[in-house]
């Protein structure tokens, strides 16, 4: 009887120690689920979801505080991917958070810009260059199209320009039979 108790007690201690050691030794930094959700999000950092950036939204989704349909730039495809990842039901984009728009970049009208630096402070990815009382310009390759620079501009010199199709980013269309007949 005593021997059995002793064996169980020692076993519990050894296993507990092993588990305790493993939890320290193999501790995962950060929440892997948050990282996975963040990888799906488009990183526009626009805040349309109601959180100050993509990462905070990912954290909220992981905790179950936010729904998966609050990201307009991610669009339907993003919601589908999130639904797949989290094993939830797909739902359409929530209207209160905005609508899916074609990818655009901000363009500053350089004739109107007064050099107030307000847009520079608003840009979440530092894609606007300029200095006080100097003309500003958007580095379009880095612009995520978040539109956060539009409201602070006192002279409304920033417009969103849709990224058009060019030879570099043109995509072959899904093969449709009639396309071949019309060739030429």
Partner 1 sequence: MLQKLFRFHGGVKPAYHKEPSIREPIGAVPMPGELVIPLHQSIGGPPHPLVKAGERVLKGQPIGAPDGNVSSSVHASTSGRVKAVEMRLAPHSSGLAALSVVLEPDGLDEWIERRPVPWRDLPSSGVRDALRDAGVVGLGGAVFPSHLKVNPGKDGKLDTLVINGAECEPFITCDDAQMRERGERIVRGAAILGDLTRAERILIGIEDNKPEAVAAMERYAAAVGDPRIRIVAVPTRYPAGGAKQLIRVLTGIEVPHGQRSTDYGVQCFNTGTSLAVFEALELGQPLISRIVTVAGNVARPRNYEVPFGTPMRHVIDLCGALPDTDRVIMGGPMMGYLMPADTVPVVKATNCILVGSARLFPPPPPEMPCIRCGECAKACPADLQPFELYWFAKAKIFGKAQEYKLFDCIECGCCAYVCPSRIPLVDYYRFAKSEIWAREREKSAADEARERYEFRLHREEREKQEKAAKLAAKAAATREKLAAAKEGDAAPAPGAPSAEEAKKALIAAALEKAKAQKAAVGTPANTDHLTPDQQAQVAEIEARRAHLKEVAQSVRPKDDE
How far is the CA of 54 from the CAs of 10, 37, 38, 77, in angstroms?
48, 9, 7, 16
The distance of closest approach from Cβ of residue 8 to partner 1 in the complex, given in angstroms and rounded to an integer, is 49
Q: Which residue, 41 or 113, has its beta carbon nearer to partner 1?
A: 41
Instruction: Please report the sign of the dihedral spanned by the C-alpha atoms of residue 41, residue 78, residue 164, residue 109.
Output: negative
The distance of closest approach from Cβ of residue 1 to partner 1 in the complex, given in angstroms and rounded to an integer, is 59
Q: Which residue, 16 or 32, has its beta carbon nearer to partner 1?
A: 32
The distance of closest approach from Cβ of residue 36 to partner 1 in the complex, given in angstroms and rounded to an integer, is 14
Q: Which residue, 116 or 125, has its beta carbon nearer to partner 1?
A: 125
Token readout for 57 is 């939204």
Token readout for 9 is 């007690």
Q: Which residue, 68 or 74, has its beta carbon nearer to partner 1?
A: 74
Residues that bind partner 1 (CB under 8 A): 38, 41-45, 53-55, 124-127, 142, 144, 165-175, 177, 180-181, 183-184
The distance of closest approach from Cβ of residue 46 to partner 1 in the complex, given in angstroms and rounded to an integer, is 11
Please count the helices (runs of H) and the strands (runs of E) in the chain. Answer: 6, 4
Q: Which residue, 1 or 141, has its beta carbon nearer to partner 1?
A: 141
The distance of closest approach from Cβ of residue 59 to partner 1 in the complex, given in angstroms and rounded to an integer, is 14
How far is the CA of 25 from the CAs of 22, 28, 30, 33, 42, in angstroms?
5, 9, 15, 20, 33
- The secondary structure element, H or E, covering residue 145 is none
């Amino acid at each position: 009887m005593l021997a059995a108790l002793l064996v169980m007690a020692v076993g519990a201690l050894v296993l507990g120690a092993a588990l305790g050691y493993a939890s320290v030794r193999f501790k995962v930094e950060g929440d892997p689920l948050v990282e996975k959700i963040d990888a799906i999000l488009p990183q526009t950092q626009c805040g349309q979801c109601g959180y100050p950036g993509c990462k905070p939204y990912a954290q909220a989704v992981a905790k179950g505080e936010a729904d998966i349909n609050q990201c307009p730039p991610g669009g339907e495809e993003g919601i589908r991917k999130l639904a797949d990842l989290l094993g939830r039901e797909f739902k359409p984009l929530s209207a209160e958070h905005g609508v899916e728009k074609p990818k655009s970049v901000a363009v500053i009208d350089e004739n109107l810009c007064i050099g107030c630096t307000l847009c520079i402070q608003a840009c979440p990815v530092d894609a606007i260059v300029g200095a006080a009382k100097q003309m500003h310009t958007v580095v379009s390759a880095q612009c995520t199209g978040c539109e956060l620079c539009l409201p602070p501009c006192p002279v409304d010199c920033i417009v969103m320009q849709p990224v058009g199709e060019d030879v570099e980013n043109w995509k072959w269309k899904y093969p449709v039979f009639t396309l071949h007949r019309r060739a030429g």
